[in-house]
Amino acid sequence: MKPEDTIKIQELLQLFDINPSQITIIDTEELVTITVEMDELEAGRLIGRFAQTLDSLQLIISLMINQGEVHRHVLLDVAGYRARRLTTLESMVENAKNQVQQTGAPCVLPPLSPTERRQVHLMLEKDAEFTSYSEGYGQDRRLFISSR
């Protein structure tokens, strides 16, 4: 990631009249993780309902960072929201795996954002017993967990 990208990210946050206490950027070959530390009440404006604002900001930042370069995924976390949500997703996946073991039938998870579906797919990609797949389109897209 170029140094000017960091400045662009800070300028983008300023458009929301947001002054984070800290911005941490971890840039690896495949993933750019941006963590914004700030007051949780103020963070609600950046996260939005069902994290739609956060997902949109993540997409905008991804487009800014990936201009003319090899595509890397971007993960934007504000006030620890994504980390807390990841814990919830891990719990959902464990419950679904238990249900699949008991019933033998695939288990459908509640509606998830594209980012969350990707996280679940990544959680299960190396699992020897379980796999995940998505069906549907747009808001109706659902993620299923089944045995391999």
pTM for the model stands at: 0.78
Residues 48-67: tens digit of each pLDDT: 988 999 999 999 999 988 88
State the CB neighbour count (10 A cutoff) for residue 112. Answer: 19
Residue with tokens 């990544």: 122
State percent of the chain over pLDDT 90: 51
Query: pLDDT, tens digit, for every residue of 74-97?
Result: 999 999 999 999 999 999 999 999
> What are the φ and ψ backbone dihedral angles of 142, each rounded to 5 degrees?
-125, 150
Confidence band of 13 (pLDDT split at 50, 70, 90): confident
Are residues 74 and 19 part of one domain?
A: yes
Which pLDDT belongs to residue 103?
Answer: 95
Given 79, 113, 128, the domain boundary residue is 79
Query: What's the number of domains the chain is made of?
Result: 2
Query: Based on the domain organization, do 132 and 66 belong to the same domain?
Result: no
Residues 97-124: tens digit of each pLDDT: 999 999 999 999 998 988 899 999 999 9
Residues 91 and 108 reside in one and the same domain: yes
Dihedral angle, C-alpha 92, 98, 104, 109, nearest 10 °: -10
Structure tokens at 124: 């299960």
Same-domain pairing of 52 and 110: no
Domain co-membership, 7 together with 34: yes
Q: For residue 74, give both structure tokens.
A: 């971007």
User: Where does a domain end: 47, 79, 111?
Assistant: 79
Which CATH number covers residue 107? 3.30.1370.50
Same domain, yes or no, for 56 and 15? Answer: yes
Same-domain pairing of 44 and 96: no
Whether 98 and 70 map to the same domain: the answer is no
User: Are 19 and 72 within one domain?
Assistant: yes
Same domain, 98 and 51: no
pLDDT the model gives residue 64: 87
| Of 57, 79, 101, the domain-final residue | 79
- Pair 60, 94 in one domain: no
Domain region containing 29: 3-79
Whether residue 44 is found in the same domain as residue 108: no
User: What mean pLDDT is predicted for residues 10-16?
Assistant: 81
More confident: 34 or 20: 34
